[in-house]
Structure 1
Amino acid sequence: MTRSLVQALQDFQPGLPLAVAYSGGADSMALLLACAEKWPGQVSAIHIHHGLQAAADDFESHCREVCARLGVPLQVLRVDARHAPGQSPEEAARSARYAALRQGAEAAQPPIRHIALAQHADDQAETLLLALSRGAGLPGLSAMPAQWERDGIHYYRPLLEVSGAALRESLRARGISWIEDPSNADEQYTRNRIRARLLPALEAAFPHFRDTFARSAAHAAQAQRLLDELAAEDLVRVGVPPQIARLQELSRARLANVLRHWLRSTHATAPSAAQLEELLDQLAACTTRGHRIHLKVGAGHVERQGQVLTWYNP
C-alpha cells in the first residue's frame, strides 16, 4: 500500500544539512515543509529557474515568499535548459537541473552533500510506463532509485511510496497553497499524456497499481545489480581496454553485458540496441588479423587496435 507523507518522513534519515529541490509545486512544497519542520535550522531550498516559460519569474517569486515565511534559506539558480539538436527537451532540462543542484550545493556555506527530491509514487509509475513504451532494458525498468550518490552528493527521493493525491491532500488539510506548472498539462509530452490518460485508467482497473509497479521496478533493479556484479568480474577478466580474444570466450549475452559495462564505467557512454548488436556481430566475425572494426557506438566510436577494442570521441 502507498504510504502517507508522515509515514514516509518517519523513515527518512538523510545527512544534514539538507537541501530540498523546490519548484513551488505541491510535491516539493509538501517535502520542503515536512523537512523544515523535522529538522529546523538544518534545511535549505534550491529553486531552479529554467527560463523556458513566461511564468518562470512568478514561480521564483512564489518560492521566495514561501521560504521567507518558513525561515528557510533559498538559492535561486538560473539555467539554460534549451535542448540541443537530437536531444529531448526533458533530458536537456534534467541535465541542466542536476548541474545546477550540484553548483548550488557546492556554493553553500558549509557545502551541502545531501539533497532531497520530491518525485512520488505517480512519478515512479510514469517512469516505468515510459521505459516500457521505449523498449527499455533492466536499467530503464528499474525506474527511479530511492537514493544514490553522484559527484560526492547524496540524493534522496523519500516520497516514492506516497501518491501525488496524498501530498496534495496533506497541503489542503493545512490550508497551504502551491503553484501549478502549466506545462504539466501539455500533452505533447509523453509523460503528461501518461499522467492525464493512463494513470486514471489504471487507477480504475487496478487500484493498487502503484504498489505493484514499484515492486516490479525493485525486482528489475535487483536483477540489474547482479548483472553489474557479473560485468565487473568479466571486465577484470577481459581487461581494459578489452582484449578481443577474451571477449570472444564469452556467451553473446555476457559479451553484451560486459561491453555495456565497459562503455558506461570507463567512457560514460551507452550504445543503442542496434549499435550493440552490430558490435557483437563484428566481434564474432573478427577471426583474422586484418578484420577491421570501426563503429559508431554511443557518443563516439569503437575501433579495433591490434588485439584490443578502444573507444574514442572524435
Structure 2
Amino acid sequence: MTQSFSAAMEQFAPALPLAVGLSGGADSTALLLACARKWPGQVQAIHVHHGLQAAADDFERHCQDLCKCLQVPLTVQRVDARHAPGESPEDAARRARYKAFEAVVQAHPAPFAISSIALAQHADDQVETLLLALSRGAGVAGLAAMPARWERGGVFWHRPLLRVAGAHVRDWLRAQGQGWVEDPTNQDERFTRNRIRAQLLPALEAAFPSFRDTFARSAAHAAQASELLQEMAQQDLLQVGIPPQLAPLRALSRARQSNVLRHWLRVAHATTPTAAQLGELLDQLAACTTRGHRIHLKVGRGFVGRSGPQLDWYNPEVLV
C-alpha cells in the first residue's frame, strides 16, 4: 500500500553513515532534509552535475545552499552524460550518475566509508518505469522496475520512497517551508517519461485510483519471476559450461536455452541480445545437427559463432 512521506521515513533504517543522492529537485531535497534531521552528523550528500543544460549550475547552487543550511557535507561530481548515437539520453545520464556515486564511495575508505546510499525515486517514478518497460516490450527483468533495496560494491542502496506518491513528497516539503528547483526538461514532452507523467498518470488516477499499489504488486511479481529465472540460468550455465557446449545446450528446452544464453552473454561478455537476435540464434541451434554446421550471428555488441563443439562470442572492434 502507498504510504505517507513521514511513515516511509519512520520505517527507513539504513546502515550509517548514509549518503543521499541530491539533484536539487523536490524529491531528493525532501529525502535529504528528512535524513539530516533523523541522523544528524551521519549524513552527507552527493550531487551529480551532468552539464547537459544551462540550469545545471542553478541545481548545484541550490544543493550547496541547502547543505550549508543543514550542515551536511556535499560532494559535487561533474560528469560527461552525453549519449551516444542511438542511445537513450536518460540511460546515459543514469549510468553517469551511478559511476559518479561509485567514485565518491571509493574516495571514502574506512574509517570514513559510506555504508548506504539513498535515492529519492517515488511511487510515480516506479509506475513510469514500469510503463516504459511495457512500451519497449521488456521481459520480466524490465517489468520488475526499480528495486527498493540492493547491495553493490559493499554498499547498500535504498529507495525508501517507492511507496510514496510524488504529490505527497511535495506536500511534506511545502509543509516544512523548504524550496527546491524545478528541472525545466521535466516539462519537455519529447521525452517519453515526461509524456507518461503528463498524459498517462492523470488518466490512470481517474480510471484506477489504486494504480500505484496494483502496479507495484505486478512489479514485485515480475521481480520474483526474474529472480527464479536468474537462479535457473546460473544452474544451467554450470551444466552447459563457459563458453556453452552445444550438446548439453541442445538438451535443454528452447525456453531454457534462451534463458541461459542471455545470462551467459550478460555475465561473461556484458552484452544483451535483442529478442530477434536471440530468436535467430535459437533457430540456428535447432538446425545445428551436423558437425559442419556453421553459426555466425550478430548478437548484442558482437557476434556469436560456432567453434567446434561450443559457442563463442567476440567483438571484432576490440580484437587486436
Same fold (TM over 0.5): yes
Match of 1:135 in 2: 137
> Per-residue deviation at 1:224?
1.0
> Per-residue deviation at 1:45?
0.2
> Per-residue deviation at 1:214?
0.2
Mapped partners of 2:12, 2:143: distance in 1: 24
> Per-residue deviation at 1:176?
0.9
Match of 2:54 in 1: 54
> Per-residue deviation at 1:11?
1.9
Aligned sequence identity (%): 70
Match of 2:195 in 1: 193
Judge conservation of contact 1:14–1:114 (CA < 8 Å) in 2.
yes
Structure 2 unpaired stretches of 5+: none
SS in 2 for 1:242: coil
Match of 2:268 in 1: 266
Match of 1:72 in 2: 72
Match of 2:35 in 1: 35
Give the RMSD, CA atoms, in angstroms.
Answer: 1.0
Mapped partners of 1:19, 1:131: distance in 2: 28
Match of 2:155 in 1: 153
SS in 2 for 1:228: helix
Match of 1:293 in 2: 295
> Per-residue deviation at 1:265?
1.9
Match of 1:86 in 2: 86
Mapped partners of 1:235, 1:90: distance in 2: 32
Aligned pair partner of 2:213 in 207, 211, 220: 211
SS in 1 for 2:102: helix
> Per-residue deviation at 1:22?
0.1
Mapped partners of 1:74, 1:149: distance in 2: 23
> Per-residue deviation at 1:9?
1.6
Aligned pair partner of 1:252 in 251, 254, 274: 254
After superposition, give the CA deviation of every residue in 1:226-258 in whole Å (9 maximum; x if it has no partner): 111111111111111111011111111111011
Mapped partners of 2:152, 2:305: distance in 1: 29
Mapped partners of 1:258, 1:69: distance in 2: 52
Mapped partners of 1:299, 1:5: distance in 2: 42
How many positions carry a matched residue from both structures?
314
1:239 aligned onto 2:241 = yes
Match of 2:186 in 1: 184
Structure 1 segments (4+ residues) deviating >6 Å: none
Amino acid at match of 2:228: L
> Per-residue deviation at 1:108?
2.9
- TM-score normalized with structure 2 length: 0.96
Amino acid at match of 2:212: R
After superposition, give the CA deviation of every residue in 1:269-288 in whole Å (9 maximum; x if it has no partner): 11110110011011111111
